[in-house]
């Protein structure tokens, strides 16, 4: 149970540890698996029948009841103590090491977390089919992997805007998002104190952090895209690299000649980074500096081990624009950039759409894999329809579940506020839980070896009317319990064989359990038991008939054949 003491959220520079929700999630405890000296966290869900279920844990020390949280000091710099191999051909990256056959501590940590052989981790990274975003300067993070051979991951976007929010609120969103299962977060701040906000987030984030450096670069030129230069962009990237940013969105596929392809779209360019770069290219009538200086960018990324998230600056922002020429032209360029980045030993993932109707989703994955050497796909939704603002966490989770089943490795969440305003803490939780549903559904469909354990444990608890276990196995135990208790708050209701949906007499699971008990008591469990019982009944009936003198009653109406009985 978390404590949340409000206060401090109005002061821009002071973040008070008290505002954070800490302590274990209801019904769970943190425990650690020791893997050759590495402490790999897991969340243990404790059940009332003495069993327990261990699940993947993204929440860091915040859910450890023994941890002392001090946001001013930041989290422990655990990875600083791990072994870091020497650079390979200038690259100090998980990709370079994996290709050289080296198994890093990060890979071992991940293998334990994902319950897989470490060789699968190494080989998928070496092939570029998976990435481990882990900047050397973010030692506070617990390593994780993004790739289609592993559990589907989710990202939560946070950050302020010029209109609203503070540093304290953004740190709070980060802790809150990871509590509910965000595997990475992106700080997409575009308002005040971008550098300082990120510093507070970085030093306290147990998950990898992504950014879009062009946002801060634009802030530095007071919002005028035409004033951007390669030099100031590069310096912004280095500034963020030094802070420990683990992956960066770079919209280097928005080429000058692609801009006219968006002219007749219904929603033009909806990507912020894409629109900024399009504005720059057109104003200067020059090729994008992100594209022309891409090799230099790779050299920087290779030193820190920053992962490229090649931005989908021309993604469709409406159903009408889905899978159009602008979108796929950019994707071909992202394929070209993928090969360049990998030749520098730099890890790459590819950002994907956007707004795509269901029948056009699979084509996106197929093309991405074909054009980008199967680099992990990282998609925003996609929204399967445009007609439900205020419910776009749902319109997008429909697309997200489908695209993840088809092979997307990480899903970028969409909150109920999409298209309407900046998400607050409550929106962040709804977005995260919604995306955990999409990701887990895809894990099940893909046959992930252990995904179904949790479904089975929850279903079993449900059928056995272990209400507390049903709540605690849920993605959101607090809301599950709250909804149940709205109508049946009394303690005895936690073992009652019904809820207020059907009531005691009509509870189908109770009736079904009674049917089972009856069957067991009367030896009627298997189909053979029932056949045997029918035979016995028949024999009994014939005996009764014989005793009664073997008299045959004829039909009432012999011609119609009705009511015949013998
Ligand atoms: C690319 C996507 O990023 C999200 N996005 C952009 N900025 C923020 C922010 N500060 N906080 C949360 N989400 C954001 C929007 O959902 C957009 O569609
Ligand atoms: C999956 C995904 N796609 C795109 C962006 C960047 O946002 P934008 O392109 O609007 O700058 C993002 N953060 N995540
Ligand atoms: S979300 Fe709002 S600010 Fe952002 S592009 Fe859409 S309308 Fe503009
Ligand atoms: Zn949109």
Task: For residue range 96-131, list pLDDT tens digits in order.
Answer: 999 999 999 999 999 999 999 999 999 999 999 999
Query: 401-410 as b/e, with b when 16 or more CB fall inside 10 Å?
Result: bbbbbbbbbb
Centre of ligand 1 to C-alpha 424, Å, is 12
**CATH class of the domain comprising 154-450:** alpha beta
Span 161-194, pLDDT tens digits = 999 989 999 999 999 999 999 999 999 999 999 9
Q: Is 272 annotated as a binding residue?
A: yes
- CB distance 238 to 300 below 8 Å: yes
Considering only CA atoms, which residue is closest to atom 5 of ligand 1?
157
Find where tokens 């014989």 sit: 546
Q: Are the C-beta atoms of residues 27 and 46 closer than 8 Å to each other?
A: yes
* pLDDT at residue 561 tops 90: no
Q: What is the pTM of this model?
A: 0.94
Q: What atom of ligand 2 comes closest to residue 271's alpha carbon?
A: 10
Where do the CATH 3.20.20.540 domains begin and end in the chain?
154-450
Q: Which residues surround ligand 4, an ion (CB under 5 A)?
A: 317
Asked whether the beta carbons of 426 and 393 are under 8 A apart, the reply is no
Atom of ligand 2 nearest to the CA of 354: 3
Do residues 370 and 330 lie in contact, with contact meaning Cβ atoms separated by under 8 Å?
Answer: no
Nearest to 308 by CA among 378, 217, 413, 365: 378
Is 314 annotated in a binding site? The answer is: yes
Spacing of C-alpha 459 from chain mean position: 22
Strand partners, 34: 39
370-414 residue pLDDT tens: 999 999 999 999 999 999 999 999 999 999 999 999 999 999 999
Give the chain's mean pLDDT: 94
Q: Which whole number is the average pLDDT over 504-513?
A: 94
Say if ligand 2 is within 6 A of residue 153 CB. Answer: no
Secondary structure of residue 37 in the 3-state scheme? coil
Neighbours of 490 (CB within 10 A): 8
Q: At residue 1, does pLDDT exceed 80?
A: no
CA distance 74 to 68: 11
Query: Which ligand 2 atom lies nearest to the CA of residue 380?
Result: 1
CB 378 less than 6 A from any atom of ligand 2 = yes
pLDDT band at 2 (very low <50, low <70, confident <90, very high): very low
Contact 56, 175 (CB under 8 A): no
Using a 6 Å cutoff on CB, does residue 402 contact ligand 2?
Answer: no
Other beta carbons within 10 angstroms of residue 205's beta carbon come to: 28
- 3-state SS, residue 356: coil
Ligand 3: centre distance to CA 188 (Å) = 13
Asked if the model's pLDDT at residue 559 lies above 90, the reply is no
Q: What is the DSSP string of 261-307?
A: GGTT-SS----HHHHHHHHHHHHHTS--HHHHTHHHHHHHHHHHTPE
User: Ligand 2 within 6 A of 274 CB?
Assistant: yes
DSSP state of 129: S
Whether 5 and 19 have beta carbons less than 8 Å apart is answered as yes
């Amino acid at each position: 149970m978390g404590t949340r003491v409000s206060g401090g959220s109005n002061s821009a520079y002071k973040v008070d540890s008290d505002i954070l929700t800490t302590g274990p999630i209801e019904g769970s405890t943190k425990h650690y698996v020791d893997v050759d000296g590495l402490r790999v966290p897991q969340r243990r869900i404790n059940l009332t029948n003495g069993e327990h279920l261990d699940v993947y844990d993204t929440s860091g020390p915040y859910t450890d009841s023994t941890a002392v949280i001090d946001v001013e000091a930041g989290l422990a710099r655990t990875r600083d103590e791990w072994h870091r191999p020497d650079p390979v051909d200038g690259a100090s990256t998980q990709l370079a090491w994996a290709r050289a056959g080296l198994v890093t501590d990060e890979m071992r940590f991940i293998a334990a977390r994902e319950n897989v052989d470490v060789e699968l981790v190494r080989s998928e990274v070496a092939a570029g089919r998976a990435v481990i975003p882990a900047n050397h300067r973010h030692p506070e993070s617990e390593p994780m992997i993004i790739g289609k051979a592993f559990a589907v991951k989710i990202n939560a976007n946070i950050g302020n805007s010029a209109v609203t929010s503070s540093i304290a609120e953004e740190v709070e969103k980060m802790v809150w998002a990871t509590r509910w299962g965000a595997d990475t977060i992106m700080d997409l701040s575009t308002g005040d104190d971008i550098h300082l906000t990120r510093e507070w987030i970085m030093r306290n984030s147990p998950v990898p952090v992504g950014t879009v450096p062009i946002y801060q670069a634009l802030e530095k030129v007071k919002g005028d895209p035409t004033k951007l230069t390669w030099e100031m962009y590069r310096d912004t990237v280095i500034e963020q690299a030094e802070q420990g940013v683990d992956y960066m969105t770079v919209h280097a596929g928005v080429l000058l000649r692609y801009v006219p392809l968006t002219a007749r779209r219904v929603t033009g360019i909806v990507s912020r980074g894409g629109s900024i770069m399009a504005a720059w290219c057109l104003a200067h009538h020059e090729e994008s500096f992100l594209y022309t200086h891409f090799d230099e960018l790779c050299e920087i990324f290779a030193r820190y081990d920053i992962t490229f998230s090649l931005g989908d600056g021309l993604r469709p922002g409406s159903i009408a624009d889905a899978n159009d020429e602008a979108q796929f032209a950019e994707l071909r360029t992202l394929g070209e950039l993928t090969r360049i980045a990998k030749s520098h030993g730099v890890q790459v993932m590819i950002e994907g759409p956007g707004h795509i109707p269901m029948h056009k989703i699979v084509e996106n994955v197929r093309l991405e894999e074909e054009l980008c050497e199967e680099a992990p796909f990282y998609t925003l939704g996609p929204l399967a329809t445009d007609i439900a603002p205020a419910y776009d966490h749902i319109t997008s989770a429909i697309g997200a579940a489908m695209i993840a089943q088809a092979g997307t490795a990480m899903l970028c969440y969409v909150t109920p506020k999409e298209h309407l305003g900046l998400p607050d803490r409550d929106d962040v939780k709804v977005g995260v839980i919604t995306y955990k549903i999409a990701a887990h559904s895809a894990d099940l469909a893909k046959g992930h070896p252990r995904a179904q354990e949790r479904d089975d444990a929850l279903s079993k608890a449900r059928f056995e009317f272990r209400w507390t276990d049903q709540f605690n196995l849920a993605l959101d135990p607090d809301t599950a319990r709250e909804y149940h208790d709205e109508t049946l708050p009394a303690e005895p209701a936690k073992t009652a064989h019904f809820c207020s949906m059907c009531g005691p007499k009509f509870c189908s699971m109770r009736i079904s359990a009674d049917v089972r008990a009856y069957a067991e008591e009367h030896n009627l469990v298997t189909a053979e038991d029932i056949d045997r019982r029918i035979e016995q009944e028949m024999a009994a009936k014939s005996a009764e008939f014989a005793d009664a003198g073997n008299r045959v009653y004829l039909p009432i109406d012999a011609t119609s054949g009705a009511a015949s009985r013998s």
